[in-house]
Structure 1
Amino acid sequence: MSNSSMTSTPTIARSPPELIAPAVPTPGGTLPLSSIDRTAGGAGLVNLIQVFPPPSFTTARKSQDAAAALVAMRDGLARTLVPYYPVAGRVAPSGLAVNCTGEGVWFVDAAASCTLADVDGLDSSPLLIPGELLLPRPAPGQKLDGLILMVQATRFTCGGFAVGISFSHAVFDGQGAAQFLTAVGELARGLQVPSVTPVWHRDAVPDPPSPPPPQLTEFRLVAQVADISAESIARVKDEFNQAAATSTGEVCSTFDAVTAVVFKCRALALASAPPDDSDVRIAFAAGTRHLLRGVLPAVEGYYGNCVYLACVTRAGKAVREASLAELVGAVREAKEAVPARFAGWMRGVDHYDVPLDYSTVTVSDWSRVGFHEVDYGFGAPGYVFPLNDHVNFVASLNYIRPPAARRGGIRVVLRCVEELHAAAFAVELAKLA
């Protein structure tokens, strides 16, 4: 810790949660969720923390400006809930619709007893401050069920902030949530209306018959973090580009390279688990907004779930023995199949058929959805990370940008192996990171 006088665990004092309602009365009624929203809704609330380094205020102005920034942020939230009025409502108990009640979103104002530097900029794993203290919760006696969004702004003594967000996956995907938070920032900074006009139109998304929900198993997943360096990513790209140059002229993206690395490392770590010929899978949420042009009245501004789960399935032994270039090729193939698979899904002839057992790991790429660009009035965040330790029925990976000090490369937040395989997985990742 940077402050040698800090011997006690840092504390966070929270003000009582308050409901921020839309700034003016908004329409009532019930709006249906889309079939993709209803599938995603099973994930419940998704948590993320945006870490904002101290702005360059002078010391005298720090507390004054921090207080003013929070007032502006609250005002931005209230005003954003006017065009985004469904967010101020509640998901119906059926999970099929949003009741536009205009109740508002819970907002918690909090103050930490330390500087951001004292807790390593919230960059260490495990965190040096209990993560749940950074996340918003409703007032005592209020239910979490049906909540669509909650916000907690925690001020650190250095003038930095951590903004904890919990959003309902039934209402937003990552891009949709980032679009909403961007609008809050714009209105907090004085814009009259958001730069992107929100679009609901969930009823325009097709509703094909869906297969029965997958059988879910509760795992005891271990939280790990790995940094894949820019050099390692460049090496995998070169390897693929040389292998592909003669045949296809395809180009390997950062996502392709990192996905190949984690797929191979996990298969190596699991070598002792399933038999050699049993399959292992890596699935990832591919964005499909561009594939809904002509289906949705407007794609720009749509903040609902717009993803299709692409999947690479291979025998475990084949993945362990494959070159990274071959695995990149497999990831690219799965990506290229998405438009046809998604069109098949819209016609009801193609189903999500990815088994969510221990052999499957699912990837969410948060490095480019927009959480890093949000500015509530105290600059862009230096670091954004998920905090979803409560999710134990899906082995998962999140790709995020490393903290500003280590820019370049991709940080992978892992909750995808149990204790038995955690050490081996860390060793394999270290070889390729």
Structure 2
Amino acid sequence: MALAPPTSLMFKVQRCKPELVAPAKPTPYEFKQLSDIDDQEGLRFQIPTIHFYKHDSSILKEIRDPVKVIREALAQTLVFYYPFAGRLREGPGRKLVVECTGEGVMFIEANADIMLEQFGDVLHPPFPCLEELLFDVPGSGGILNCPLLLIQVTRLKCGGFIFAVRLNHTMSDGAGLVQFMMAMGEMARGACAPSILPVWQRHLLQARDPTQVTCTHREYDDMASTVVVPIPLNDDMAHRTIFFGSTEVTALRRFMPHHLKQCSTFELLIACLWRCRTIALLTNPQEEVRVLCIVNARDKFNPPLPNGYYGNVILFSVALTTAGKLCKNPLGYAVELLKKAKNNVTEEYIRSVIDLMMIKGRPHFYGVGSFVVSNVTRAGFREVDFGWGKPFYGGPAKGEVGAIPGVSGFYIPSKNSKGENGIVVPIALPVQAMERFQNQLDILLAEGPFSHL
């Protein structure tokens, strides 16, 4: 089921002059290397998230200004997470290093002439007027020599507020960002220190000596020799957010043979979207297509990484086949590929990726014929509490991120207009491809016999 965003919603935002918020106390001046996962080309971009908070008098014991509270909490939190207040520099071999200068992160105070209720009962990307709620301060959006975080707090007429963040992805993954925001929430609620202290130790994910690529990594195939664009882009891109509730999931499970009946909902839905998307793009049957599922690999290490490690610990599990096989085989074929790909991600696989980064010069993941999906259902974005309770929505601010338009997507927990819990997945495709995509999806979700699909 496609969900329509309130794109017609217009409102004015008045912003104060952007400022730099530095740590509340002096912090060490030093240089800290990123890990060999952090500084790969595919993570050298900004990733935005957004949180919407209601005004709830039953939670707030006194009137508090969210801008003041969050600004002070940010300064206090940066004492512990002081690398965020520094700037990235690039050294020999494209190695990224944080110069811990204590300059601070970019902070914007704003007011909007709108109430939270006007956004509707269901919130999901794309959000109306996002560029006003997370303003791109000129000169702040680079990877090197720029603030590593940009934060905007926007007061709403109803007493609620919107908290938006833009993160330099080389510094942290979603889990690391949530850890930082949870620490800010604790400080905002009166704590003197975060309950989970940050751990840098990026050397734990550095390349081995000697390096040894022991696994096959089709997610980093060489794209240098191809001139094929990842997706047939044009200026007229369509954006649609697909909701999957229990009805839709049950319909798709009817395709699964007995041995796949217990596959995860994530595997089932991504297999469905991958197949529909490939058909919609009229992909050459002989062309290779792949899904790159972003895996939080923190539980793959023995001994475990230290609690509090906030760097990138994400890998791609890659399912690969030809477009012809994907589209002609039953849906269970794609699910089998996804399950096998997930099982391939072991600690040795991770070490092999790290070594490949060093050998190949920190390459970008393969984008031609790829569909990149990140599951944020367990990332914790909806748990961040600054004293106003949990957010009405917390998660990705955009349906897609990264340098390659139309390739990435998120798997986001949400509700529909009836209040039913489910998953939303934002999709971006050229207009005509989007219509073919919707037709294919409708066929899969239709009632009746499914033997021909």
Q: Does the TM-score normalized on the shorter chain lie above 0.5? A: yes
| Counterpart for residue 394 of structure 2 | 384
| Aligned-pair CA distance for 1:84 | 0.7
Query: For 1:331-373, what per-residue CA distance to the aligned partner results, in whole angstroms no more than 9, with x for missing partners?
Result: 111000111532433455998895212x111001122111111
Q: 1:364·1:397 contact (CA, 8 Å) conserved in 2?
A: yes
Change (3 A) 1:15 1:362: same
Counterparts of residues 411-426 of structure 1 (less than 5 Å): 411-415=424-428, 417-426=429-438
CA distance, structure 1, for counterparts of residue 12 and residue 383 of structure 2: 28
CA distance, structure 1, for counterparts of residue 120 and residue 155 of structure 2: 15
| Counterpart for residue 100 of structure 2 | 100
CA distance, structure 1, for counterparts of residue 426 and residue 356 of structure 2: 34
| Counterpart for residue 34 of structure 2 | 33
| Counterpart for residue 275 of structure 1 | 284
Query: For 1:280-328, what per-residue CA distance to the aligned partner results, in whole angstroms no more than 9, with x for missing partners?
Result: 111111111223344x7x4321111111111111121221123233322
1:87 paired with 2:88, answer: no
Q: 1:116·1:122 contact (CA, 8 Å) conserved in 2?
A: no
| Counterpart for residue 63 of structure 2 | 65
Gaps of 5+ in 1: 1-6, 246-250
What count of residue pairs does the alignment treat as equivalent? Answer: 410
Q: What SS does the corresponding residue of 2:163 show, helix, strand or coil?
A: strand
CA distance, structure 2, for counterparts of residue 44 and residue 353 of structure 1: 11
CA distance, structure 2, for counterparts of residue 167 and residue 355 of structure 1: 23
| Counterpart for residue 159 of structure 2 | 159
CA distance, structure 2, for counterparts of residue 304 and residue 120 of structure 1: 35
CA distance, structure 1, for counterparts of residue 71 and residue 113 of structure 2: 22
| Counterpart for residue 217 of structure 2 | none
Q: What SS does the corresponding residue of 1:190 show, helix, strand or coil?
A: coil
1:319 paired with 2:331, answer: no
| Counterpart for residue 309 of structure 2 | 302
Change (3 A) 1:403 1:38: same
CA distance, structure 1, for counterparts of residue 309 and residue 265 of structure 2: 26
Give the AA of the match of 2:284. Answer: P
CA distance, structure 1, for counterparts of residue 309 and residue 41 of structure 2: 16
| Counterpart for residue 261 of structure 1 | 272
| Counterpart for residue 368 of structure 1 | 378
| Aligned-pair CA distance for 1:237 | 4.6
Counterparts of residues 131-150 of structure 1 (less than 5 Å): 131-138=130-137, 144-145=142-143, 146-150=146-150
| Aligned-pair CA distance for 1:424 | 1.1
CA distance, structure 2, for counterparts of residue 354 and residue 420 of structure 1: 27
Counterparts of residues 180-199 of structure 1 (less than 5 Å): 180-199=180-199
| Counterpart for residue 243 of structure 1 | 259
CA distance, structure 1, for counterparts of residue 327 and residue 289 of structure 2: 10
Change (3 A) 1:292 1:243: closer
Change (3 A) 1:289 1:182: same
Give the AA of the match of 2:247. Answer: E
> What percent identity do the matched residue pairs reach?
29
CA distance, structure 1, for counterparts of residue 44 and residue 444 of structure 2: 31
CA distance, structure 1, for counterparts of residue 33 and residue 441 of structure 2: 43
CA distance, structure 1, for counterparts of residue 444 and residue 393 of structure 2: 23
CA distance, structure 1, for counterparts of residue 117 and residue 168 of structure 2: 31
Give the AA of the match of 1:419. Answer: V
Q: Structure 2 residue aligned with 1:290, among 293, 299, 321?
A: 299
Query: For 1:120-172, what per-residue CA distance to the aligned partner results, in whole angstroms no more than 9, with x for missing partners?
Result: 26837654x3110010444x666744321111111211122221110010101
| Counterpart for residue 78 of structure 1 | 75
Q: 2:18·2:106 contact (CA, 8 Å) conserved in 1?
A: yes
1:356 paired with 2:367, answer: yes
TM-score, length of structure 1 as denominator length:
0.85
CA distance, structure 2, for counterparts of residue 197 and residue 20 of structure 1: 20
Q: 1:40·1:170 contact (CA, 8 Å) conserved in 2?
A: no
Q: 1:51·1:122 contact (CA, 8 Å) conserved in 2?
A: no
Query: For 1:231-254, what per-residue CA distance to the aligned partner results, in whole angstroms no more than 9, with x for missing partners?
Result: 222444565472347xxxxx3122
| Counterpart for residue 233 of structure 1 | 249
Q: 2:49·2:166 contact (CA, 8 Å) conserved in 1?
A: yes
